[in-house]
């Protein structure tokens, strides 16, 4: 046995992590560019709900002027950004914690509440990070699948909450990947359960409905998550935030990494909040394009789009394999999301992009229609 093997015998990694499956995030544009033999600027990327218009001019200007900032650690309390968020969200800054994307806050919430074996309810199909981060803290995942129309199975959630003494329930509205909303009366019913409800509103700005964030200060078991990644075009910088009941904030401050929001993300996020009209105009453009997608996709015999209140459209694929459709579109330089997961194997999700990107997608779909004779 080598010395390294001897050490590994003695110091083993956690068995639950050793047994974990690999998580495969979508490949980078560079990887696709090489695989498809196309330059990056000819690839139509509609697979990750990113904002095709990018950051606002103000955010770009802030990023271009980080001299004197980059060499200094950021404010661990992100006070300037939280003061702006107070006005944007309508909840006092004391309730707001910012992080390196909403993803970081999902992780922090699980660390705050979950010891190994504690129950966490997840309602798949939904955003994958709840399950991913819950596994890292050794949570007992309790899956309560959605109905065929992707609505929540409320009685099943209630039964599971009581049966497993669950601590947390992850909800997403509009839900990723279908774009459906949670109705206020459904949320009320779930808030009556003896657990903490984490409501992910990553796509709130596209939904045309009011955020539930304003309810947090008088709802002891509600946490709302938001992000700059989608509506403000800052996905690559990692800036998200959560709105928490006050009594939780004291404990979150203790466990968060002191400099979790980097200075570039902080500057761009603040500039975005001071550039709202331009960003909201982009949001409107994206919503129009989503509506166009819903109409145009329904005309293809092999696609059944679901109504969406977000910046993407989920489609059931009929008459050909969804994975093959994804591959055929990829060959045309159009990237869409395919999930090899229960409940989603015959679906693809398409992000709403620019009108030109929709044109390219529709042209690629017409080619698939002609080639496959479906």
What is the binding site for ligand PLP (CB under 6 A)? 49, 101-103, 127, 172, 176, 200, 202, 227, 229, 235, 240
The residue at minimum Cβ distance from ligand PLP is: 101
For ligand PLP, the closer of residues 103 and 178 by Cβ is 103
State whether the Cα torsion 132-154-169-234 is positive or negative: positive
> Least Å distance between CB 171 and ligand PLP?
10
For ligand PLP, the closer of residues 32 and 127 by Cβ is 127
Contact (CB, 8 A) for 246 and 220: no
For ligand PLP, the closer of residues 260 and 357 by Cβ is 260
For ligand PLP, the closer of residues 227 and 328 by Cβ is 227
SS3 75: coil
SS3 94: helix
Backbone angles phi, psi at 7, to 5 degrees: -65, -40
> Least Å distance between CB 10 and ligand PLP?
37
Rg (CA), the chain: 22
Cα 293 to Cα 358: distance, rounded to the nearest angstrom: 7
Cα 30 to Cα 205: distance, rounded to the nearest angstrom: 29
> Least Å distance between CB 320 and ligand PLP?
27
> Least Å distance between CB 118 and ligand PLP?
22
For ligand PLP, the closer of residues 300 and 311 by Cβ is 311
Residues facing 197 on adjacent strands: 169, 222
> Least Å distance between CB 200 and ligand PLP?
5
For ligand PLP, the closer of residues 172 and 182 by Cβ is 172
> Least Å distance between CB 175 and ligand PLP?
8
Cα 226 to Cα 209: distance, rounded to the nearest angstrom: 14
For ligand PLP, the closer of residues 15 and 25 by Cβ is 25
> Least Å distance between CB 296 and ligand PLP?
23
State whether the Cα torsion 261-127-340-359 is positive or negative: negative
How far apart, in Å, do the first and last CA atoms of the chain sit? 59
Q: Could you tell me the CA-to-CA distances from 34 to 28, 41, 201, 323, 333 in Å, in that order?
A: 10, 12, 35, 20, 11
> Least Å distance between CB 369 and ligand PLP?
29
For ligand PLP, the closer of residues 229 and 260 by Cβ is 229
Contact (CB, 8 A) for 224 and 207: no
Cα 52 to Cα 233: distance, rounded to the nearest angstrom: 8
DSSP string, 313-343: EEEEE-SS-HHHHHHHHHHTTEEEEE--STT
């Amino acid at each position: 046995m080598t010395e390294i093997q001897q050490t590994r015998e003695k110091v083993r990694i956690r068995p639950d992590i050793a047994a974990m499956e690999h998580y495969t995030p979508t490949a980078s544009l560079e990887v696709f560019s090489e695989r498809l033999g196309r330059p990056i600027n000819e690839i139509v990327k509609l697979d990750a709900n990113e904002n095709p218009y990018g950051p606002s001019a103000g955010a770009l200007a802030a990023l271009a002027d980080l001299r004197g900032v980059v060499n200094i650690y950021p404010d661990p309390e992100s006070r300037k950004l939280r003061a702006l968020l107070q006005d944007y969200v309508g909840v006092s800054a004391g309730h707001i914690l910012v992080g390196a994307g909403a993803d970081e806050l999902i992780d922090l919430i699980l660390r705050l509440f979950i010891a190994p074996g504690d129950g966490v309810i997840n309602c798949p199909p939904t955003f994958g990070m709840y399950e991913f981060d819950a596994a890292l803290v050794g949570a007992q995942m309790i899956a309560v699948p959605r109905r065929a129309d992707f609505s929540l199975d409320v009685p099943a959630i209630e039964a599971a909450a009581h049966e497993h003494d669950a601590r947390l329930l992850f909800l997403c509205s509009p839900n990723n990947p279908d774009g459906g909303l949670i109705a206020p009366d459904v949320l009320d019913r779930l808030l009556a359960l003896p657990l903490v409800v984490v409501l992910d509103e990553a796509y709130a700005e596209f939904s045309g409905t009011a955020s539930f964030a304003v309810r947090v200060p008088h709802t002891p078991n509600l946490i709302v998550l938001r992000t700059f990644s989608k509506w403000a075009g800052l996905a690559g910088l990692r800036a998200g935030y959560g709105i928490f009941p006050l009594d939780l904030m004291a404990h979150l401050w203790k466990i968060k990494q002191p400099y979790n929001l980097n200075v570039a993300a902080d500057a761009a996020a603040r500039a975005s909040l001071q550039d709202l009209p331009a960003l909201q105009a982009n949001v409107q453009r994206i919503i129009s394009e989503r509506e166009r997608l819903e109409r145009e996709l329904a005309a293809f015999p092999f696609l059944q789009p679901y109504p969406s209140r977000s910046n993407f459209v989920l489609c059931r694929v009929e008459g050909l394999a969804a994975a093959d459709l994804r591959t055929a579109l990829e060959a045309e330089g159009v990237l869409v999301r395919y999930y090899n997961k229960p409940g989603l194997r015959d679906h693809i999700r398409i992000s709403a992009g620019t009108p030109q990107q929709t044109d390219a997608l529709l042209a690629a779909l017409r080619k698939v229609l002609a080639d496959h004779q479906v």
